[in-house]
Chains A and B, each alone.
Chain A
């Protein structure tokens, strides 16, 4: 055998040996039988010494991984570098990174409404092979059905994310005001029906008007986020609840239907019973007014429920949150109107450009596993909200404060009746058009005119991205019962 031949043979042998070593190991990893967190830890030890970059929303959101990462590192030897980005940058930066072949991020948090764009760009790693290899199948069933559905964790039947944040709008109301006998009598005398926690938008408006007329400027009846950027989230749920549709059968926008126009007209009217300047109120303004006892009702995300109960308010990470003056006075209802908005939420995903995909996957499996995620959704300062059946049923969580059980039941009920924001290619642009219409109407523009303009923008976006492509994506998206618009969610029997 010549020297050259020997070298070639040796090289082939080495490759064969390597394959021989790797393949049996891979086959040896069957589906996890025990706890998914433990399986993730055991498997991750082979990647000790690796560093993974994980994108998380800046600020309070990042406190959760910053707390958990050292524990993960101690268990596995894998370091997690938490990269904090502003909410809207979380859509743009990882995508820019992927498009420029950067590979700067391994694990990323993505809102379900952005998933289609990411999948279209080839920016996400399919997770099914990893799930099959490392996760206990029972733990997949533990995700609340609304969160593990098509268009959320899955796109076209392929899993691209592990859901990690049960974001849904609920109504918080002041029990003391609603249960006050004088208020009850005065309300009934004026409106002709009992003052009860509102289930419909009209009831919410009446109660808000009543409290504002009676108590302003010390207290206003209602506050909702109206500032540009994410104002659309307060439109989507009620629009669906009233029977509105995003598109007709030809993919023509129908957001400017009578239902849409009436809803926007009502939203403008609602501003009049909210605190002055509410048109520029964001999350912080609503939070401050509520915690300070300056409003009777708010419609917002779940963390406010924990903070207003004073749960864990001694945590140093919560030093910036105003002290709650409403402890023990808070009641919970799903967002009035029938279809609470499933606003935002996050999937934990793996970047297709990552060089540490497997290690990153094991990290997100560990983070979202039932036992670890329960700890995380119970962190008082974290903004992750319950999303697993085991979270809602946890005796520990249900006893976290006197009304915690009621809070968890409301969240679950709201989520199961929820309406997702549009999640097809160009979703961000579609939603921004609604946002512009809302802020323009708040500024005085005729609601019909504002929505006509938004609908024209929608049609232009659809036209540009291809009517047939968009139609196909929309039909696929509608396969999820929580994406279908209408007064009630119709979940097919499994």
Chain B
């Protein structure tokens, strides 16, 4: 009897339920279409492109399978650009984190003029990276740059070192510029994390005689872990695509010494119109981004879970 009633109910409601189930899909359909058009289609298209020999200098565009990937992995310039990218991610982001954390710790307590200091510290983040690049290019200038001027005052004689044109210092100059711009971002995220930590547990630890170092190592850092991971995730992903400052400061030079993977892809794809090869390089970058993201998200989940 029950089964018969259920069957009847289902039978009578099926068209309406179907309609009801369809309505949400109709609402999201335009969004899905747009996403398919602007993300999925280009991704699939460029995957196809990466399997062809698409060169501006050639009339034919033959399918070459993994030819572009094989060429990519056997090119020293690619590996070098990857190394520079990883250097920026590991060294640059680590220093940004350390400086940002130090600043956040310093400014997390109530102090006079804190608002002004925080606002001033945030200014670099608000400037466009291209503007930062051109500004720092002037600062690093050999003859008229203030950096050499100050060093000259300190050592008591004119100092005209060409920071951006020497292989030994060009990358250092880039890292300093990058760190200057993005440390405030780290600082802001970490400061907001520190602000929500319960002060009572720190007071309790103090009563128990915990030292400053012990509080930092055993309480602040573990409690801040999810925030730290988010900050590293955002900055790490951004640094993997590092381009603007390289473009404006050194143009990848001297030689190819400061070329990052993004810059290399730009050169191959948009300057030399090696679209197939450029697409292959983009996919490799995508894989790196995916691996990085997966690892940090896993870490984030475990941090939140613990």
- Interface membership of chain A positions 458-477, coded 1 if the CB is closer than 8 angstroms to chain B and 0 otherwise: 00000011100100000000
Q: Is the CB of B165 within 8 A of A92?
A: no
Indicate which residue in A92, A280, A436 contacts B164 across the interface (CB closer than 8 Å).
A280
Q: Is the CB of B271 within 8 A of A92?
A: yes
Q: Is the CB of B162 within 8 A of A120?
A: no
Q: Is the CB of A436 within 8 A of B255?
A: yes
Q: State in angstroms the CA–CA spacing of A260 and B105 once bound together.
A: 57
Given contacts A95-B273, A276-B143, contact A443 B255 (CB under 8 A): yes
Q: How far is the CB of B86 from chain A (nearest CB, A)?
A: 21
Q: How far is the CB of B300 from chain A (nearest CB, A)?
A: 39
Q: Is the CB of B253 within 8 A of A428?
A: no
Determine the main DSSP class of A at the interface with B. Answer: helix
Residues of chain B within 8 A (CB-CB) of A439 are 165, 253-255
A76-112 contacts to B, CB under 8 A, are 88, 91-92, 95-96
* B290 lies within 8 A of chain A by Cβ: no
Q: Is the CB of A436 within 8 A of B253?
A: yes
Q: How far is the CB of B58 from chain A (nearest CB, A)?
A: 6
By size class, the interface of chain B is: 20 to 34
Indicate which residue in B165, B168, B271, B273 contacts A277 across the interface (CB closer than 8 Å).
B165
* B217 lies within 8 A of chain A by Cβ: no
Q: How far is the CB of A445 from chain B (nearest CB, A)?
A: 7
Indicate which residue in B55, B250, B255 contacts A437 across the interface (CB closer than 8 Å).
B255
Q: Is the CB of B270 within 8 A of A92?
A: yes
Residues of chain B within 8 A (CB-CB) of A121 are 56
Q: Is the CB of B57 within 8 A of A228?
A: no
Q: Is the CB of A445 within 8 A of B255?
A: yes
Q: State in angstroms the CA–CA spacing of A116 and B272 once bound together.
A: 13
Q: How far is the CB of A94 from chain B (nearest CB, A)?
A: 12
Q: Is the CB of A442 within 8 A of B59?
A: no
Residues of chain A within 8 A (CB-CB) of B251 are 227-229
* A217 lies within 8 A of chain B by Cβ: yes
Residues of chain B within 8 A (CB-CB) of A466 are 58
- Interface membership of chain A positions 404-436, coded 1 if the CB is closer than 8 angstroms to chain B and 0 otherwise: 000000000000000000000110110010001
B250-281 contacts to A, CB under 8 A, are 250-257, 267, 270-273
Given contacts A425-B57, A465-B55, contact A276 B253 (CB under 8 A): no
Given contacts A228-B253, A229-B251, A276-B162, contact A440 B167 (CB under 8 A): yes
Name the 10 nearest CB pairs between A and B, nearest first: A277-B142, A440-B255, A425-B57, A276-B160, A279-B165, A443-B254, A228-B253, A439-B254, A439-B253, A228-B251
Indicate which residue in B59, B167, B271, B272 contacts A445 across the interface (CB closer than 8 Å).
B167
Q: Is the CB of A228 within 8 A of B55?
A: no
- Interface membership of chain B positions 86-108, coded 1 if the CB is closer than 8 angstroms to chain A and 0 otherwise: 00000000000000000000000
Given contacts A277-B143, A280-B162, contact A120 B254 (CB under 8 A): no
Q: How far is the CB of A453 from chain B (nearest CB, A)?
A: 8
Residues of chain A within 8 A (CB-CB) of B143 are 275-277
Residues of chain B within 8 A (CB-CB) of A440 are 167, 253-257
Q: Is the CB of B167 within 8 A of A280?
A: no
Residues of chain A within 8 A (CB-CB) of B59 are 120
Residues of chain A within 8 A (CB-CB) of B250 are 228
Q: State in angstroms the CA–CA spacing of A386 and B101 once bound together.
A: 61
Q: State in angstroms the CA–CA spacing of A204 and B40 once bound together.
A: 59
